[in-house]
């Protein structure tokens, strides 16, 4: 199987002024493409090694699968959770569950922002199928700090390539800008799918 970079679900300038056309172009076409390429390359290495019965560099390729594969998956979540009509708070079942599990939307958002300020990669809102609750998690790189059995609901990329061109070192300003473009429809659908599977 070969993985491909899907197009953005909106125009490159659709999130301005919060995220610039230049950043989306670099981020999607160069960085995200790099993770797709890395995943495909690692899969080819593993397939070649299995056929040859030689596994000297298989461990490195396996690490590349989790790093690049997670990078690809998380970027798709990131793109899909934003849109030019975003900026509202969640509603419906997801909003009710956020209030139940965190106490309020404001408490959830404050904790999520804390995760984003500390992460070396991603801040995620996930549905923890082991505990049957929503959680915020801090993920370094793309695959360090993830929780087994957790299903991503909302992903925020805080690698420097996500914001430095627009905001310089002011990551907090970028995080606030992210909330101006979050479109909660896709995260709400992901939450409902996860709950159907596990509750």
**What ranges in 20-123 are assigned the alpha helix state H?**
21-26, 33-52, 58-80, 92-102, 105-118
What confidence score (pLDDT) does residue 146 get?
A: 87
Question: Across the chain, what does the average pLDDT equal?
Answer: 96
CA distance 138 to 179: 18
**32-78 pLDDT per residue, tens:** 999 999 999 999 999 999 999 999 999 999 999 999 999 999 999 99
**76-86 pLDDT per residue, tens:** 999 999 999 99
CA distance 25 to 33: 11
Question: What percentage of residues in the chain have a pLDDT greater than 70?
Answer: 100
Cβ atoms of residues 104 and 90 within 8 Å = no
**11-40 pLDDT per residue, tens:** 999 999 999 999 999 999 999 999 999 999
Confidence band for 126, pLDDT divided at 50, 70 and 90: very high
Phi, psi dihedrals of residue 138, rounded to the nearest 5°: -100, 120
- If we measure between CA atoms, which residue out of 77, 63, 65 comes closest to residue 6? 77
Burial letters for 93-130: b for 16+ Cβ neighbours within 10 Å, e otherwise? ebbebbeebbeeeeebbebbbebbeebebbbbbbbbbe
**141-194 pLDDT per residue, tens:** 989 998 999 999 999 999 999 999 999 999 999 999 999 999 999 999 999 999
CA-to-CA dists, residue 76 to 28, 56, 84, 156, angstroms: 10, 32, 16, 11
Cβ atoms of residues 57 and 41 within 8 Å = no
Question: What percentage of residues in the chain have a pLDDT greater than 90?
Answer: 95
Q: Using the 8-state DSSP alphabet, how is residue 184 labeled?
A: T
CA distance 18 to 163: 10
């Amino acid at each position: 199987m070969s993985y491909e970079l899907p197009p953005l679900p909106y125009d490159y300038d659709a999130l301005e002024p919060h995220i610039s056309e230049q950043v989306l172009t670099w981020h999607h076409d160069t960085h995200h493409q790099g993770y797709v390429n890395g995943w495909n390359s690692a899969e080819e290495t593993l397939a070649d090694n299995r056929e040859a019965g030689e596994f000297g560099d298989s461990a490195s390729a396996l690490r590349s699968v989790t790093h690049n594969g997670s990078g690809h998956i998380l970027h798709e979540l990131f793109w899909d959770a934003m849109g030019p009509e975003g900026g509202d708070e969640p509603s419906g079942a997801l909003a009710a569950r956020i209030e139940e599990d965190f106490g309020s939307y404001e408490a959830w958002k404050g904790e999520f922002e804390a995760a984003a300020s500390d992460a070396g990669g991603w801040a995620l809102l996930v549905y923890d199928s082991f505990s049957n609750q929503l959680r915020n998690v801090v993920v370094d790189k793309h695959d360090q700090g993830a929780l087994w059995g957790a299903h991503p609901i909302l992903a925020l990329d805080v690698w420097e390539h996500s914001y430095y061109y627009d905001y310089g070192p002011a990551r907090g300003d970028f995080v606030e800008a992210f909330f101006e473009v979050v479109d909660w429809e896709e995260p709400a659908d992901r939450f409902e799918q996860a709950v159907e599977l596990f509750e």
